[in-house]
A and B are shown apart, each in its own frame.
Chain A
Amino acid sequence: MDASPTRSGISDLAMSTENRILLYPAFTERERLIDELARAVWYFEPIRDVTPKIYVLVRGLPITTAEVDAMLGDFAAVMPAYFDSEIAEWAKRWTGRIEVHPDPDGNLESSWSVPGTSIILCWELQTPERYDDIMKIGERCGIIYTFASVTKNIGEAANRARIVHERLRPERKSAIYEAAPKVLQKLKEDFAGREVYVYGSGPSVSQVIDAKFDFGDGCHIVCNSLIKNDELMDIVRPKIVVCADPVFHAGPSEYAAEFRRTLNRFLHKHDAHVVTLVDYVATICSALDESHWDRVIGVSQGDMPEDNLNLIDNQTVRPTENILTLLMLPLAMTLTDKISILGCDGRSFVQDSYFWKHDTKSQFGDLMEGAKLTHPAFFKRDFNDYYIAHCQVLERLFVSGERAGKRIRMITPSYLPPLAKRYEAVI
């Protein structure tokens, strides 16, 4: 179960711009406390200036507020290696803000009565029934809550980022929403009449370099860790980088950190914009140089009766689980009528141990195990269910685009039927 943060009967506390966050339930083990503190330091950085307190409940764990403060002062000594190494430095900024409270009886309502709590982050849950209890009490007390168990909630990373976005200072949040249509309008003018090349990070993408294909005056949209492939980036000089994964791009793992460092370097070198979901703009920006912030824009996910092919008028996309269908194609179809897709090899249906096959030059493969340790629930999925769902969404989106007069073609081979049947041998 992955409930989004839900509010009902918002209290004055929740309406306040200040956040007092309670990590629920009580910690009984030091390792889990350290793990959750690392996540809190990472996720809450964009709202640190409006978060005077994070409350930590403990039961049977002998640790005091002063000891937590001391730990934050030298967090590198205790933090697991799979986290972004930067977190150890950021942890110092939270000294004096983490408050330990004993929770002797495990009673929900008394746990939540820590004075001034406005947000509950449920980092673990023992039983499914407790979801209901938490929702009822949260709604009755007017407290914002989110479910974020790293072992049980497949969407925990997205839920954490979402609540941070919701609690940004109003002026910062408004600026994020206002930036997207302006930037997209400008990009549409730049892209007018030109072919748009949309890149996946499949194994064939590096071969495009040797193929010496003439892209003419085409514009290029790349995604995810493809930016690591310097040789390809120098050739195609992308105008847009799309990334919207709560784990690999906006999460606290060293994998995601390496992606953000690469993105930072990329933005210094290339005149490009970053398009992501609004929920991740602040978290991703917190790891980028401030001079890049105005080049990162976000669109929202929401219920839409049809695929949105005009993100300038309405910056909302239908939720899907793949970057191509979530953002790259809606964006490409917003900007132009001529779309060529490359590097979306997919994989054979029978090789079902992971999402897709990737180009090794465009991955942070050596850090993948750390990402799995950081987000164990995220990787517990049936990759063939994902494959089938992706093919269905892809075909629907192509049909929507083609009905709207878009010419969509695949110019490198693919295992995925909706792409394979649109193949044109131009390379």
Chain B
Amino acid sequence: MFDDQFLLAAIEGRFPIRQVTILSLRPEDDFEPFTKRGWRVVSAGIMLAVETDLAARGIEVAAGNIDNLGSPVVIGDFAAFSDDRRQYLVSRTPEVVKVNFVSSVIDGGAFLKTADPDLNKSGMLDMVGLFRQLGYTCFGSTWYRDDVEPGVALLDGTNDVSLFPFNLLAVKDPSIGHSMKLVGEIYAGQSRDAAMENAKLIGKLDRKIKERDKYIMMLEDAMLALQPSDKIKIGS
């Protein structure tokens, strides 16, 4: 998803081990930006939404369980954070943990929040509570402007519920979250500029189409004039 790439931009160069452990994988997830930059993306007891060829998507299937992997970054859907995995977080406290509560649909084009917010709200609050207890700072990657513009916000305890649904990002070093927020803002700015540019182009195209239609209608009138009939009126 889009925020995995924001995350990559924020963590690049920060850890001695460039390795991400993923606990789940959906068709729309894309870890190629990580693998292309030399990161190892490893899975441990992965939860799959649909049958997937992990190797074809650059994901290594690691031997053993999550405890042996020692990745500084752990990413997974909320449902993949079982009790034993939460225990792992308590004991190993990786640098970054991202818990996905929302997904984007494949067909829709724009990012859509498909999670059931009521269903997962209490789960989110439990996770945020756990991370804060362990000394993490929490951020939420969410969507603005009619769900088409992504962005990252600091969760300060007062906005946890109002911002939900979001993907939860727990970081030991808050600057990682702030970097993600900055990347999000730059992306959103570019996205707004691109949207304005697109709107201008669409307006120009609409004017051209109207002009074209005017000529087509003149040609059609001429064509109909060559088909005289007293008794038959076309299209009526």
Contacts and interface: CB of A to CB of B under 8 A. Distances in A.
B67 interface: no
B229 A412 contact: yes
Contact of B232 (A348, A415, A420, A427): A427
Nearest to A416: B223
B22 to A, nearest CB: 18
A154 to B, nearest CB: 14
A300 interface: no
B227 A413 contact: yes
B51 A420 contact: no
B231 A413 contact: no
Interface string A264-276: 0000000000000
Interface string A202-240: 111001101100000000000000000000000000000
Interface in B212-236: 213, 216-217, 220, 223-224, 226-229, 231-236
A347 B49 CA distance: 47
Nearest to B48: A106
A126 B227 contact: no
A415 B221 CA distance: 9
Given A420-B227, A427-B229, A413 B234 contact: yes
Given A126-B27, A126-B50, A130-B50, A420 B233 contact: no
A107 interface: yes
Interface string A413-427: 111010010010101
A104 to B, nearest CB: 13
A31 B102 CA distance: 24
A349 interface: yes
B220 A348 contact: yes
A108 interface: yes
Contacts of B55: none
16 contacts: A126-B27, A127-B106, A130-B50, A203-B234, A207-B231, A211-B232, A347-B235, A348-B220, A348-B235, A349-B213, A350-B217, A357-B235, A413-B234, A415-B220, A420-B227, A427-B231
A345 interface: yes
Nearest to B209: A350
Interface in B1-57: 27, 48-51
Contact of A413 (B27, B217, B232): B232
Interface in A385-427: 410, 412-415, 417, 420, 423, 425, 427
The 10 closest A-B pairs by CB, nearest first: A413-B227, A211-B231, A350-B213, A413-B234, A423-B227, A127-B27, A412-B232, A204-B232, A420-B223, A207-B232
A67 interface: no
A107 B228 CA distance: 65
Given A204-B235, A350-B213, A350-B216, A415 B229 contact: no
Interface residues of A, number: 30
A410 B224 CA distance: 13
Most buried by B among A127, A133, A347, A427: A127
Contacts of A130: 50
A425 B228 contact: yes
B224 A133 contact: no
Chain A contact residues: helix, strand, loop or mixed: loop
A106 B216 CA distance: 53
Given A126-B27, A350-B213, A413-B227, A106 B50 contact: yes
Interface of A: 106-108, 126-127, 130, 133, 202-204, 207-208, 210-211, 345, 347-350, 357, 410, 412-415, 417, 420, 423, 425, 427
Contacts of B233: 204, 207
Contacts of A425: 227-229
Contacts of B236: 203-204
Contacts of A126: 27, 49-50, 106
Contacts of B227: 410, 413-414, 420, 423, 425
B224 to A, nearest CB: 6
Most buried by A among B48, B49, B235: B235
Interface string B167-211: 000000000000000000000000000000000000000000000
A130 B111 CA distance: 22
Nearest to A125: B50
A206 to B, nearest CB: 10
Contact of B51 (A107, A350, A415): A107
B20 to A, nearest CB: 22
A204 B216 contact: no
Contacts of A348: 216-217, 220, 235
A423 B223 CA distance: 10
Contacts of B231: 207, 210-211, 427
A211 B230 CA distance: 9
Given A414-B227, A423-B226, A345 B27 contact: no
B214 to A, nearest CB: 9
Contacts of B234: 202-204, 345, 412-415
B223 A415 contact: yes
A178 B202 CA distance: 55
Contact of B224 (A106, A208, A350, A413): A413
Nearest to B231: A211
